Amino acid sequence: MPGILQPEVGKYLDALLPGRDRVMREMERYAAQYRIPIIGPACGRFLYQAACLIRARRVFELGSAIGYSTLWLARAVGPRGVVYYTDSDPSNAQRAEAYLRRAGARGRVRILVGDALEMLRRTPGKFDLIFNDVSKTQYPEVFRLALPRLRRGGLFITDNVLWSGRVAKPASPKDEDTRTIQGFNRMIYTSRKLFTTVVPLRDGMAICQKL
């Protein structure tokens, strides 16, 4: 992603990453070939580690695509945990289910097809971790929905909060995505109910812990 890490630093970090298993490598190749947005292995490891550190067992993911981040989370929650996958595209959900089954993680995932925000409204209970990766203009609404659904000490993690560096410059009136992310970033940093840090990894990930 331009504007975040210097290209040589990005290449260095990518070269340090341990190899993934066959299913994950296949998912990465498929996403690259068909330009399907996934968080990638560096952010996948970050997400996995964050979930493990708080011993997350109940996770809700908004915007799951082919299930790449879902698989990282499913492995983090363990055999007794559950991850709620959401995507509006049935073909994405079908592909994700096949990958998860091959990876031995299907039993840990509940697949929900439809609007991710509506699926969160319909799913009862609190969560240890909520991962937000939907359309950028929906970020403020996700914030309002997610915060009451997190347990104390739980994590609200959001992808793409640096938006290829565009958030560092004044956004044009027509650039709704950038303006929304800028506003969202102010929301999560000024909230008295969250402790927030943005990690400049890939396209920027915000990790917010509920106080």
Tens-digit pLDDT profile for residues 142-163: 999 999 999 999 999 999 999 9
Q: What angle do CA 185, 187, 189 make, to 5 degrees?
A: 70
**pLDDT value at 3 more than 70:** no
150 within 8 A of 127, measured Cβ to Cβ: yes
Give the pTM.
0.95
From the centroid of its chain, how far is CA 197? Answer: 15
Residue 88 located in a structural domain: yes
For 33, the domain range is: 7-210
Q: What CATH number corresponds to the domain at position 179? A: 3.40.50.150
85 within 8 A of 74, measured Cβ to Cβ: no
The total number of structural domains in the chain stands at: 1
Residue 2 located in a structural domain: no
Residue 1 located in a structural domain: no
Residue 206 located in a structural domain: yes
**Residue 2: predicted pLDDT:** 54
